[in-house]
Amino acid sequence: MFRTPTVHAFIFSLLSFTTVIGQDQRIADSLIIIYEQGSLAGDEKLELLRKLSYNEKRDLNKALSYAEELIVLSTTANDLISLYRGYRQEAEINLQLGNFDLALEAYFKSLETAKKAEYHRGQGSAMTGIADTYSEMGNASNATEYYNQAITFLRTTEDTIAVGIAIINAGDEYFKAKKYDSALAYFKESAAIFEQQDYPIGKAYAQANTGMVQAATGDFELAKTNINQAVAVLEEMEDSYAISEYLTYMADSYWEEDDTGSALDYAHRSLDMARKFGIKQQVSDTHLKLSAFYEDLGQTEQSLQHFKDHIAYRDSVNNLAAVQRMADLRTDYEVSQKQVEVDLLSQQKRNQQIVLASVGVLAAVLLWFFVAIRREKKKSDTLLLNILPEEIARELKEKGEVESVRFENVSVLFTDFVQFSKVAEAADPKQLVKSLDYYFRRFDEITVKYGLEKIKTIGDAYMCACGLPSPDPDHAANTVKAALEMAALVQESLKSQNGLDRFQFRVGIHSGPVIAGMVGTKKFQYDIWGDTVNIASRMESSSEPGKINISETTYNAIKDEFDCTYRGEIDVKNRGALKMYYLN
């Protein structure tokens, strides 16, 4: 059965501290004029970006750029509430686009920021978003756990609508588990809440979800009535994501009643809307649905084409999941190693207690104890330095926190392996992680050699920067040298017969200002934000296999020392045409 829609991020966002309303594209259309004038600053600019990122539904990538700008400016202004909202909007948009790993990362950042700001409603909202993401990824246990946490937490606040959203989404999990009685009870409770609060979009979701339960239990006529009425409301509000999913479900209902014409019409309407708004998961699912329909009708050519399109879009979503699983393997391994050290330390402490029972060896034990403490302190310091730059680790130990800093002159480097997704589909997971580890270990050595700071790896992508946390006047040149050595390493590996999976890669570099700081409380991460990071990423995605693509800014800094080839002005997503150069 087609996966049911959930309310999650698409009806919840705070437009002020006290008022919750639905999204409205007309608001975004009116505010874009003010944004383009560039006349606002400070709190007014933050509020403008928040409303734009929330209400812009016609172009989700544009909405994402507003959210990213909100994050950067909020970090600079140390405005935790606005920063929470920026992360949350970034998460919600990525969830709509099917970028589940990015959505989950942003939701957890929004949760940590809300906790730091003691913003209780924000904490509950972030928990709901985390649950929504796990739900979309098919992780029912994690989704249920976070929904329960969100409901319990939000009931302690005055945010009744947020409670309703968490309840309806929890009901959706029961629906997917085919526990229809429980699902219907949750949908009815949420409907009552939305009715009491006069929240139209919430009422529409509750009505449509109730219709899906009715369809699943055989009452197709009542189901179609409820879903059609809900879709009419959502069309008025231009809630494209939900409409697309509900239309596909309507196609299922008509197909069950042998009304193939209506079923195909609804499925194609869903596909057109999903394509228009770039909802990858929905495009993939609807292609699969149409493939099945046409196969049953004996129209094999159309069925095969839709199945091919389903595979193409499915891979664009599932590859993220595969990369995330491989990243989790690396994380689990690192955590297990640290756990071994913790267990060893605990055993040493127990041994100390036993030995201390013998007064005759007290002096020797005390001496060993202090030596062990110094050894373990050195070990913990080493572990911290493996996670954070030395200056940042020192600041964290001295102050208990790390302040965000703006660096004006930094070069950011991104790498990405070509055809990695295809290899990941068929490769043995352990072998694949071993291959990634081979490259990343050597990349780490190269970054140390040229004074670059490794920021993070995301699946098969590697990100580092030069010029922070200590300024480097030669940041661009050193980054280019590192890129050239990485390229030489990868080229050499293509000839190797070491039994590892081998890849070609792309590199992108851009230079400019960034905001740097530390995120997280349990798993620290030193990270950077800003337009420079985004453009560096675009340089990588606009590169070609085996090439190092640099921006005009980086080129101007290194052109006297390195040979480059001008590529011309190339269109970049959300940025327009940018001048690019290949490093020879």
* Residue 536 resides in a domain: yes
Total of domains in the chain: 3
Q: Are residues 82 and 221 in the same domain?
A: yes
Q: Are residues 52 and 109 in the same domain?
A: yes
Q: What is the pLDDT along the chain (584 residues), one digit of tens a residue?
A: 223 344 333 333 322 222 334 566 778 788 888 888 888 888 888 988 988 888 887 788 888 889 999 999 999 999 999 999 999 999 988 888 878 888 889 999 999 999 999 998 889 889 989 988 888 887 888 888 888 888 888 888 888 888 898 899 888 888 888 888 888 899 999 999 999 988 888 898 899 889 888 888 888 888 888 888 888 888 777 666 677 777 877 787 788 778 888 889 888 888 887 787 777 777 888 888 888 888 888 888 888 888 878 777 765 555 544 444 434 443 443 444 444 444 555 555 555 555 444 444 445 544 555 545 455 555 555 544 455 556 655 655 555 555 678 889 999 999 998 877 777 777 777 788 888 888 888 999 999 899 998 888 887 889 999 998 888 999 999 999 999 999 999 988 887 756 667 788 999 999 999 888 876 555 567 788 888 998 999 999 899 999 999 999 999 999 999 999 999 998 887 778 899 999 98
Domain boundary among 387, 414, 431: 387
* Residue 300 resides in a domain: no
- Inter-residue long-range contacts of 429-437, CB under 8 Å, 24+ positions, other chains counted: 429/325, 429/326, 429/329, 430/329, 431/500, 431/501, 432/326, 432/501, 433/326, 433/329, 433/330, 434/500, 435/500, 435/501, 435/502, 435/503, 436/326, 436/330, 436/460, 437/330
* Residue 302 resides in a domain: no
Answer whether the bond into residue 545 is a cis peptide, omega within 30°. no
Domain boundary among 218, 238, 258: 238
Q: Are residues 471 and 504 in the same domain?
A: yes
Sign of CA dihedral 549, 551, 554, 559: positive
* Residue 289 resides in a domain: no
Which ranges in 98-219 belong to alpha helices (H)?
100-116, 120-136, 140-154, 160-176, 180-196, 200-216
Q: Are residues 139 and 176 in the same domain?
A: yes
* Residue 2 resides in a domain: no
Q: Are residues 381 and 408 in the same domain?
A: no
Q: Are residues 336 and 424 in the same domain?
A: no
Residue 296 is encoded by which pair of tokens? 């049953």
Q: Are residues 380 and 407 in the same domain?
A: no
Which amino acid would we find at residue 157? T
How far apart, in whole angstroms, are the C-alpha atoms of residue 50 and residue 84?
11
If one counts every other C-beta atom within 10 angstroms of the C-beta of residue 524, the result is: 16
Domain boundary among 180, 209, 238: 238
β-bridge mates for residue 405, sequence order:
516
Pick the closest to residue 326 from 103, 133, 101, 139 (CA basis). Answer: 101
**Cα–Cα distances in angstroms (integers) from residue 74 to residues 43, 64, 442, 516, 538, in the given order:** 9, 15, 36, 13, 23
Q: Are residues 443 and 342 in the same domain?
A: no
Which ranges in 400-511 belong to alpha helices (H)?
420-426, 429-449, 475-493
* Residue 451 resides in a domain: yes
Structural domain of residue 350, as residue ranges?
Answer: 326-387
Q: Are residues 471 and 533 in the same domain?
A: yes
Q: Are residues 481 and 558 in the same domain?
A: yes
pTM tops 0.75, yes or no = no
How far apart, in whole angstroms, are the C-alpha atoms of residue 311 and residue 307?
6
Q: Are residues 186 and 331 in the same domain?
A: no
* Residue 505 resides in a domain: yes
Q: Are residues 426 and 358 in the same domain?
A: no
* Residue 303 resides in a domain: no
How far apart, in whole angstroms, are the C-alpha atoms of residue 386 and residue 498?
28
